[in-house]
C-alpha cells in the first residue's frame, strides 16, 4: 500500500437501483477519498430488477463528471476484491439503528478476514434516512411518485422498463 498515491475506498452494494441515498454517500465519500469505487455485487441468488450491466451504466451516467468516482462489478469475497483494487477502506451507508447490527457484523467479519482494511460507515442527509432500493421499487410498482428519490436516469429507466412490459406492475 506504500507505493500508491492517495486513499482508495470501495463502496460495495446491490444498487438495484441506485437511489439518491447511495448518491449522497458516494458524494461524501469522494470528498474523503482520492478514488471511490462503486462496486456492484453480482449476486445470482437475488433476482434483481436491473442487470448488473444496467446498474453500472446508470451509475456511470450519474458520476460521469467525477473522475474520482469509478464504477465496477465484483463477485465473491469483498475483501479479495478490495485487495485487488488496492483499497484502504470499505465504505458503507448507515441510515438508522436498523442498519447498525448488520453493518457491524459485516465490518467485524471483514476485519477478521483482512485486518488492515478499515470499514467507514457514513450517514446520509436526513432526508434519505428512510430511503431504500426496496421501497423505491415498491412505490414505483404501485404507481407512486419516486421523483427526488432516485437520479433522473434511474427514474427514466424504471419507466422504460414498465412501458416495455418487462416487469409486472402490481
Ligand X SMILES: Nc1ncnc2c1ncn2[C@@H]1O[C@H](COP(=O)(O)OP(=O)(O)O)[C@@H](O)[C@H]1O
- The residues of the shown chain that bind ligand X, judged by CB under 6 A, are 13-15, 19, 21-22, 25, 92-93, 95, 99, 124, 128, 131-133
* Minimum CB–partner distance for residue 146 and ligand X (Å): 13
Kindly name the residue from 35, 55, 92, 133 that is annotated as catalytic: 133
Cβ(56)–Cβ(73) below 8 Å: yes
Half-sphere exposure of 151 (CA within 13 A, CB side): 21
Judge whether 95 counts as a catalytic residue: yes
Judge whether 168 counts as a catalytic residue: no
Instruction: Name the residue with cell 476484491.
Output: 81
Cα 170 off chain centre by: 26
- 4 vs 102, which CB is nearer to ligand X? 102
* Minimum CB–partner distance for residue 164 and ligand X (Å): 24
* Minimum CB–partner distance for residue 84 and ligand X (Å): 19
Greatest distance between any 2 Cα atoms in the chain: 53
Judge whether 4 counts as a catalytic residue: no
- 95 vs 137, which CB is nearer to ligand X? 95
Judge whether 145 counts as a catalytic residue: no
**Count of Cβ atoms closer than 10 Å to residue 36 Cβ:** 28
Give me the helices (H) in 2-151, please: 20-32, 52-62, 78-84, 97-113, 133-141
- 124 vs 151, which CB is nearer to ligand X? 124
- What b-and-e string marks burial along 83-117, b requiring 16 or more CB atoms within 10 Å of the CB? eebebbbbbbbbbeeebeeebeeebeebeeebeeb
- 35 vs 95, which CB is nearer to ligand X? 95
* Minimum CB–partner distance for residue 85 and ligand X (Å): 17
Minimal CA–CA distance to 8: which of 73, 86, 65?
A: 86
Instruction: Give the active site residues.
Output: 22, 46, 95, 133
Amino acid at each position: 500500500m506504500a507505493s500508491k498515491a492517495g486513499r482508495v475506498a470501495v463502496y460495495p452494494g446491490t444498487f438495484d437501483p441506485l437511489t439518491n441515498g447511495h448518491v449522497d454517500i458516494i458524494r461524501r465519500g469522494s470528498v474523503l477519498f482520492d478514488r471511490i469505487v462503486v462496486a456492484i455485487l453480482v449476486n445470482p441468488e437475488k433476482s434483481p430488477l436491473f442487470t448488473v450491466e444496467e446498474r453500472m451504466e446508470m451509475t456511470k451516467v450519474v458520476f460521469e463528471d467525477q473522475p474520482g468516482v469509478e464504477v465496477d462489478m465484483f463477485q465473491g469475497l469483498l475483501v479479495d476484491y478490495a485487495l485487488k483494487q488496492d483499497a484502504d477502506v470499505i465504505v458503507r451507508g448507515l441510515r438508522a439503528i436498523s442498519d447498525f447490527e448488520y453493518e457491524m457484523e459485516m465490518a467485524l467479519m471483514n476485519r477478521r478476514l483482512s485486518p488492515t482494511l478499515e470499514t467507514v460507515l457514513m450517514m446520509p442527509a436526513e432526508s434519505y434516512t428512510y430511503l431504500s432500493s426496496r421501497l423505491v421499487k415498491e412505490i414505483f410498482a404501485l404507481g407512486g411518485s419516486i421523483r427526488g428519490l432516485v437520479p433522473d436516469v434511474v427514474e427514466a429507466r424504471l419507466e422504460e422498463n414498465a412501458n416495455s412490459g418487462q416487469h409486472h406492475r402490481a
